[in-house]
């Protein structure tokens, strides 16, 4: 089967003009090329997803891994999950700190009986694996937090991407930051991975959707990674809802359309990317911007300049 791949770098309401669009497109396409090369060489969907998440986590512009936003107490706590659709196995970590790639911990937990760990369990796993201590803080994210602290955190979330020109004075509702990867490999197996630094400035202990089946889900029929406001995604149970609809016989496009229409009617702010077992690529959003890009095997494309509002697309 011809492999397929789709990734995202978050959702929001602004890309700070054309320069932001082109910069993000270049980043996403570069990651697509590397990860799709692995799929062509025979890598499993799960391995491709992990590598894609690592690359996105390593890019400071995105809110995951390096470049993660700070919570209200000035600390970085990250969450990530991996779901192997072939085995229908979910693993993840919640509010982990001092690690470069949270997706690596989710991968390690695929082989464990206890496959979702909270902050304390994630810290213990870090010690067991003897991974080097890593500080994901960037100057841009620190400055963003310091500016908000001056105003006693009047904004409810941080920026979807980190750009120098997008620091103080930008759109106050621009943040919905998460990264995600969905892959179909040569054997027809699916996997999905999602990682985030949270929404920024949140209450200590807040848990995002990224380490839940609500935000990241896959089985043998479909796979979906979500982005947007975590509480909205959880309340729609969006990733699992789309995949279950596909499993029950709806096409991937119809499942996306129905789910996004419902989310839009409920006033949600979110986006999602997905694949089915036949290789159909789909995406949808209720937010203004979805930082998505895909590799069909024949061409690359993206969702960066979709019209605001509820939008659904697909590619065979």
240: exposed, middle or buried (Cβ count in 10 Å: 0-12, 13-18, 19+)? buried
Residues 6 or more apart whose CB falls under 8 angstroms from that of 92 comprise 79, 80, 81, 82, 106, 109, 115, 116, 117, 210, 211, 212, 216
Give first-to-last CA distance, the chain, whole Å.
13
Q: Which of 66, 138, 156, 178 is catalytic?
A: 178
Q: Give yes or no: 156 in active site.
A: no
- 64, 197 contact by CB (below 8 A): yes
- 104, 131 contact by CB (below 8 A): yes
Residues 6 or more apart whose CB falls under 8 angstroms from that of 299 comprise none
- What phi, psi does 47 have (nearest 5°)? -65, -40
The residues assigned a catalytic role are: 178
């Amino acid at each position: 089967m011809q492999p397929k791949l789709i990734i995202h770098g978050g959702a929001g309401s602004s890309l700070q003009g054309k320069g932001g669009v082109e910069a993000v497109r270049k980043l996403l396409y570069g990651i697509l090329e590397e990860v799709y090369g692995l799929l062509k060489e025979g890598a499993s969907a799960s391995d491709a997803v992990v590598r894609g998440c690592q690359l996105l986590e390593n890019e400071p512009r995105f809110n995951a891994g390096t470049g993660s936003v700070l919570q209200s107490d000035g600390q970085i706590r990250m969450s990530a999950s991996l779901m192997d659709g072939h085995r229908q196995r979910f693993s993840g970590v919640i509010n982990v700190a001092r690690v470069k790639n949270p997706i690596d911990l989710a991968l390690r937990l695929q082989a464990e009986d206890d496959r979702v760990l909270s902050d304390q369990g994630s810290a213990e796993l870090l010690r067991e694996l003897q991974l080097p201590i890593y500080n994901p803080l960037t100057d841009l994210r620190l400055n963003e937090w310091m500016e908000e602290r001056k105003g006693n955190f009047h904004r409810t979330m941080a920026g979807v991407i980190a750009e120098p020109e997008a620091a103080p004075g930008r759109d106050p509702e621009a943040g919905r930051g998460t990264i995600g990867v969905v892959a179909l490999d040569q054997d027809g197996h699916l996997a999905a991975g999602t990682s985030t630094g949270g929404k920024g400035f949140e209450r200590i202990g807040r848990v995002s959707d990224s380490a839940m089946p609500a935000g990241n889900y896959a089985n043998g029929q479909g796979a979906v990674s979500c982005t947007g406001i975590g509480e909205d995604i959880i309340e729609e149970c969006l990733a699992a809802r789309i995949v279950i609809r596909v499993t029950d016989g709806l096409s991937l496009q119809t499942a996306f359309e129905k789910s996004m229409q419902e989310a839009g009617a409920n006033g949600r702010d979110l986006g999602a990317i997905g694949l089915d077992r036949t290789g159909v690529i789909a995406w949808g959003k209720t937010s203004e911007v979805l930082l998505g890009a895909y590799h069909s095997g024949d061409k690359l494309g993206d969702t960066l300049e979709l019209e605001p509002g509820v939008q659904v697309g697909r590619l065979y």
